[in-house]
Amino acid sequence: MLRKLILVALLQLAGASCPLSTYSYAGTRFSDAYGRQSSARVHPDFVKYMNDMNSHAQTCGVEIKVTSHFRKNPVTGNQWNAKRSCHMIGHAIDMNLSGKNGYCNSSCLKGYSSYSGSDSSINCFLKKIRYDHPVLHWGIDFNDPVHIDDRLCTNDAEYDRILATLSDC
Ligand SMILES: [Zn+2]
C-alpha cells in the first residue's frame, strides 16, 4: 500500500514537471486516426504550428488524422526515427488526411509528392505545408509522407536543450 502511494506521488511529481502541452482536437480539423485520443502531446513552441496546420486544413477542406505526436523513445526498426527525431522533442506529428474524395493513408499521400493527386483538397493542404508555410516541413522530402515537423531536430544544440527538459514526460 505504502509503496503504491509513493509510486503515485512520484508519478504526480513527474507529470507536474513535464512541460509538454496538451493540444485538444475539440473544435479543430484534427482527430485521432485510431479514435483513441482527443488530444496530441506537443512542445509548447509547436502549438502555433498546430494552429497553422489547422487553418490550412480549414482553408483546403481536409481533416488531419493524427497517428503519432510526442514519442518518448525512438521507434525500433524505423529508419526515420533511429535518433534525433522531432517526435522526441514534441515538434512533429504523423498524419493521414481525409479529403473531399475520402481517406488518404501513407501510400496514398506518397502519390501527392508532385501535387498531381486526384483530390484537390489534399493537393491544396500539402502544398501549403511544403511551400507556403515559412517553417513547417512535409516529410515527403525524406520519403516519410505522413510526417510534418518544424525542422528543429536538425539544430543539434536546440534539440539537446529541449530534450533535457523532457526527461519527466
Ligand atoms: Zn514522423
Q: Measured in angstroms, how far is the CA atom of residue 144 from the centroid of ligand 1?
A: 7
Q: Give the residue extent of every domain in the chain.
A: 2-165
CA-based nearest residue to 113, from 94, 93, 127, 128: 127
- Rounded to whole angstroms, the Cα distance separating 88 from 90 reads 6
Query: Would you tell me which CATH number, out of the four given (2.60.40, 3.40.50, 3.30.1380, 3.30.450), belongs to the domain 2-165?
Result: 3.30.1380
- Strands 137-138 and 102-104 come out as unpaired
| Ligand 1 centre distance from Cα of residue 140 (Å) | 11
Considering the chain, what percentage of its residues have pLDDT values greater than 70? 85
Cα 6 to ligand 1 centroid, rounded to whole Å: 35
Q: How far apart are CA 136 and CA 76, in angstroms?
A: 25
Cα 94 to ligand 1 centre (Å): 5
In this predicted structure, what is the pLDDT of residue 144?
93
Per-residue DSSP letter, 77: T
- Give pLDDT tens digits for 128-145: 999 999 999 999 988 899
pLDDT tens digits for 63-109? 999 999 999 877 665 555 556 899 999 999 999 999 999 999 999 99
The whole-model pTM stands at 0.87
